[in-house]
Amino acid sequence: MSVNNNFYNNKDDIYQNHSDVKEKIITTTISLIKTSDGLVDNITIREIAQKADVAVGLINYHFGSKNKLIEICVQRIISHVMKTFSDVDKSEVDKSKIEQNQEHQKNSDQLKFADQNDNLDQKNNSNQMEYSQQMEHSQQITKSDQINNSDMASFTASVFTFLINNPEISKISMLADLSQPSTESNSSVSYKAIYKAISDNDNNDQDIKKIKAFMLLASIQSAFLNCSIIDQLLGFNMNDTNDYYRFFQLITEILKI
């Protein structure tokens, strides 16, 4: 019995060691990618093996090729970035939404109070006050929509900034997602982040909200992959911060998000 226990313990140790080695290779490669200015072709298997203190053969054993290893690492990098964007920007959108709801509730309470205190002698004045308050309420709604559009434009522009600052790894990730679609791919992670960042709208059901998130993701990816010709096609210089912010501001306005 003790022999069998030792056998299974050794087997578990082997699996654990394999897992540790694989993670060490990934961590080392990610570090090299981040210091390579996106020039992943300059990273060699020998360099990875040396930095990770493992044999070259182990890299081929665990990942098959350098390209597959790079692809896995890029996916992890961008996945982490997208989750960070989602957490930070969603909290800002939620904060803005709470403030807007509080303002709307305040205006609604004022209207109800004015209505309750109407009397025949003050009917004309009261109606005029109510109309004025309704107009103010309508302006607040319009303002809140503009805030939402601004939030989403900033969110989208910040994502695009990461893409153009990291063109090589971003392209690797997108092309990998296109060749091997998956619900766990970075495109899917990005879609989920965008979906969460879109503020709720009473006029939109969840299906419409999902399609809007999908359309915004497609716009971001298409703008990145066609960055060099968008100026000729649409008149926006996607290498200029002001231009691509305006570009995505218009898209969020069109999508009403």
- Of the two residues 27 and 105, the one the predictor is more confident about is 27
Confidence of residue 44 (pLDDT cuts 50, 70, 90): very high
- Lowest average pLDDT, out of 97-101, 204-208, 242-246, goes to 97-101
The pLDDT of residue 141 is 38
Does residue 113 register a pLDDT over 70?
no
Domain boundaries, the chain: 2-64, 74-95+144-255
- The dihedral built from the CA positions of residue 80, 85, 86 and 92, taken in this order, carries a sign that is positive
Q: What are 157-197's pLDDT values in tens digits?
A: 988 998 898 888 888 888 888 888 889 888 998 898 888 88
Distance CA 185, CA 164 (A): 20
d(CA 210, CA 35) in angstroms, rounded, equals 36
* Architecture per CATH, 2-64: Orthogonal Bundle (1.10)
Neighbours of 209 (CB within 10 A): 16
Q: How many CA atoms lie within 13 A of 172 on its CB side?
A: 22
Residues 38, 42: Cα–Cα separation, whole Å: 9
Answer with the residue of higher pLDDT: 236 or 119: 236
Q: Which amino acid is at 119?
A: N
Instruction: Give the whole-angstrom CA distance, residue 186 versus residue 176.
Output: 9
pLDDT at position 146: 43
Q: Which of 22-36, 130-144, 224-238 has the lowest mean pLDDT?
A: 130-144
Q: Which residues, 6 or more positions from 42, have their beta carbon under 8 angstroms from its beta carbon?
A: 36
Per-residue pLDDT at 99 = 54
* Mean pLDDT on 219-248: 95
Model confidence band, residue 221 (pLDDT cutoffs 50, 70, 90) = very high
Question: What confidence score (pLDDT) does residue 165 get?
Answer: 85
Q: Give Dmax over CA atoms of the chain in angstroms.
A: 100
